[in-house]
Amino acid sequence: MTEFTGSAASQADFIWKNAEDLWGDFKHTDFGKIILPFTLLRRPECVLEPTREAVQEANKNFKDSDIDLDLILRQTTEYPFYNTSEYSLETLGSTKTRQNLEDYITHFSDNARVIFEEFEFTNTIIRLDKAGLLYKICNNFAGVELHPDVVPDRVMSNIYEHLIRRFGSEVNEGAEDFMTPRDIVHLATALILDPDDKLFEDNPGLIRTLYDPTCGTGGFLTDAMNHVSEYSNHYKIPPVLVPHGQELEPETHAVCVAGMLIRRLESDPGRDLSKNIKWGSTLSNDQFANERFHYCLSNPPFGKKWEKDKNAVEAEHKLGALGRFAPGLPRINDGSMLFLMHLASKLETPKNGGGRAAIVLSGSPLFNGGAGSGESEIRRWLLENDRVEAIVAMPTDIFFRTNIATYLWILSNKKPSNRQGKVQLINATGLWSPIKNEGNKRRMINDDHRHQILEIYAAAENNALSKMVDYRTFAYRRIKVLRPLRMVLVLNEERLIHLEDEKVWKKLSPKLKAFWLKQLEPYKNSVQKYQWAEAFVKNTAKTDEARVLKIKPNKTLIKTLINVFGEKDPEGEPVTNANGDFVPDTELTDYENVPYLEDIRDYFAREVLPHVPDAYIDEGFTDDKDKETGRVGYEINFNRFFYQYQPPRKLEDIDAELKAVEADIAALLAKVAE
């Protein structure tokens, strides 16, 4: 057998070389759909190889008995799965390869067979057989050693992800969307687990639950389990994390299931962890409804629409506190904040030890949506309920498919006293080292940087890279600023003509038009106050002639007269209504965002009145929740807390550079002219 050496990337390339045998018979876009399931088949085959004969013997002895055969076979393999077929990739033969391989797949236990069903592997077998390549591909993979003793789980997970990236790049399906770079995985895992070091030390073998609602190939789950297993170096008995995950894409779900089939818990080696890996949309079909977890990790897709989940999400939103999405709903074009709320709802209750979560998001959840919007109300709920413990601004260029700014949010419902009511902002944008390009990934957070971030986080202090911020600092009240209407009515011939263009006027009968024109005649070429229109219509409606024509006071006609004859007069008197209140000029309406911790009237007197002395606050514009003036909004402006002033360059330096550029251009032109 061939053993792997080198990096996961080189190991994946070795497996990918099988694609060379596919050229000419298959499109390159189909290669990944063949290579990946064969890799997934070879891995469990290597795991089961030492117990193959024992399983066949047990199956022969007990298959016709009343004993639970499934239990016997699991105990024989010492894994939660088995295969009772007499075949392996090495012994399929060259004459009936297809039939024998199908038999081999069929004899896997149900929990393993589902892996190949999700890849529609039967169709792949048929196509390879028709092309005359099935035996060769099977033989190729039979020579690859993938036993966990040779290729550890973490390395195997990397191999899967490298293959998926290669597969995705070939078919242009953005498979990297399913993956989180390992440096980010390590950082997120350490941020949620390391604060519980004392808990693990005081409670040897403590069992805790782990959850990823967008688990992909299981990178977060695998890394977290490996992370705590390393605690055995410090404690006699390391803690145990029981993994749970849900994934939407069938292929990556299959990869995760395959990985979890082979994982074993020392405290419960017979437990089938693959049963905890569910398939389906987390937003519209939560497979862990009403369940909570001690640790949660997630990297939801950036900027992905949630319109396919719209009906289910909106229905759950209407349930209020009984659902996951009570605070509000984001815009349909980005569902990342739905995952943020989902994770908050999945934190284990404080009574049962509490929960912590890490989720990777783009920058938009920090600030998108104004006061009262779904996004702002989500931030409001998280902050006012003290769920946000820290936000880490990460370097750009650390993802495979995007170079945008990304942030790691840490959620918790068990904050220590020094963190309560506060959010720690960590600026880690400068903590990176360059790497050879992997797509858009040109930087990584190495071990030293990760340790530095963890130290900054643990210290919870204010310094150049860390700010401990009162959550109310992120809040503001959006007040509505009005100004009085200053208007007179000018009744001249030109404006009278414009009456003919008004919808209300067009609907009048010729008799009624003549009546109103007759009533307006005495006021031609006059200037009236704003209130004149209402008084004119009401008084006219009381006349005998109006009664005969059955004319009643019409608000729509009053509004039409104001629209036609109204003329703004900035120097005129403010218009008031019957109660003596100012009538606002809707064209001059403005809004101000007042810091939440400042009195809105103090702010108004200082920032607004000096510039517009006749402005006033709309007291009827109130918040839906606290009913006070101004709507409450929340946004997290990272740059505000870490901005460093850069003085402008000196003019003489700029001038010198311009002259140098001009000289270079002149020299180039001179060469062209020669």
CB 361 within 8 A of CB 344: no
With H, G, I as helix, E, B as strand and everything else as coil, classify residue 449: helix
465 has a pLDDT exceeding 90: yes
Please state the separation of Cα 89 from the chain's center in Å.
41
- Rounded to an integer, the average pLDDT of 192-220 is 91
Q: What letters, b where the CB count within 10 A reaches 16 and e where it falls short, cover 651-674?
A: eeeeeeeeeeeeeeeeeeeeeeee
Label the pairing between strands 433-438 and 441-444: antiparallel
Q: What letters, b where the CB count within 10 A reaches 16 and e where it falls short, cover 144-170?
A: bebbeeebebebbbbbbbbbbbbbbbb
Across 66-80, 360-374, 393-407, which has the greatest mean pLDDT? 360-374
Nearest to 112 by CA among 257, 216, 269, 264: 257
**Integer angstrom CA distances of residue 156 from 89, 139, 265, 416:** 19, 20, 18, 37
6 has a pLDDT exceeding 70: no
| 668 — pLDDT class (breaks 50, 70, 90) | confident
626 has a pLDDT exceeding 50: yes
Rounded Cα–Cα distance for residues 560 and 533 (Å)? 9
- Rounded to an integer, the average pLDDT of 655-663 is 87
Between these two residues, 236 and 122, which has the higher pLDDT value? Answer: 122
| 293 — pLDDT class (breaks 50, 70, 90) | very high
Extract the runs of DSSP E, i.e. beta strands, from 406-563.
406-412, 422-427, 433-438, 441-444, 466-470, 475-482, 487-491, 526-529
Mean pLDDT of the chain: 90
371 has a pLDDT exceeding 90: yes
172 has a pLDDT exceeding 50: no
263 has a pLDDT exceeding 80: yes
Identify the pLDDT of residue 174. Answer: 46
Q: Out of 94-103, 268-277, 327-336, 665-674, pick the least confident.
A: 665-674
Q: Which contiguous run of DSSP H or E holds residue 392?
A: strand 388-393
| 171 — pLDDT class (breaks 50, 70, 90) | very low
User: Of all residues in the chain, what percent carry a pLDDT higher than 90?
Assistant: 62
For residue 446, give the DSSP letter: -
pLDDT digit string (tens) for 304-325? 899 999 999 999 999 999 999 9
| 176 — pLDDT class (breaks 50, 70, 90) | very low
CB 348 within 8 A of CB 354: yes
Question: 3-class secondary structure for 472-511?
Answer: HHHEEEEEEEECECCEEEEECHHHHHHHHHCHHHHCCCHH
- Rounded to an integer, the average pLDDT of 145-158 is 84
Identify the pLDDT of residue 7. Answer: 63
Amino acid at 77: T
Rounded Cα–Cα distance for residues 189 and 179 (Å)? 15
551 has a pLDDT exceeding 90: no
2 has a pLDDT exceeding 80: no
- Rounded to an integer, the average pLDDT of 42-70 is 90
Rounded Cα–Cα distance for residues 245 and 278 (Å)? 6
Q: What is the reported pTM?
A: 0.86
Rounded Cα–Cα distance for residues 471 and 596 (Å)? 10
- Can you read off the two tokens belonging to residue 654? 């700029």
- Rounded to an integer, the average pLDDT of 402-428 is 94
Identify the pLDDT of residue 234. Answer: 65
Rounded Cα–Cα distance for residues 131 and 113 (Å)? 24
- Rounded to an integer, the average pLDDT of 107-124 is 92
pLDDT digit string (tens) for 179-188? 688 899 999 9
- Can you read off the two tokens belonging to residue 276? 């905890």
Identify the pLDDT of residue 173. Answer: 47
For residue 403, give the DSSP letter: -
- Can you read off the two tokens belonging to residue 556? 């729509």
Q: Out of 291-295, 330-334, 651-655, pick the least confident.
A: 651-655
- Rounded to an integer, the average pLDDT of 472-488 is 96
224 has a pLDDT exceeding 80: yes
Identify the pLDDT of residue 653. Answer: 80
- Rounded to an integer, the average pLDDT of 512-517 is 91
Return the CA Rg of the chain.
35
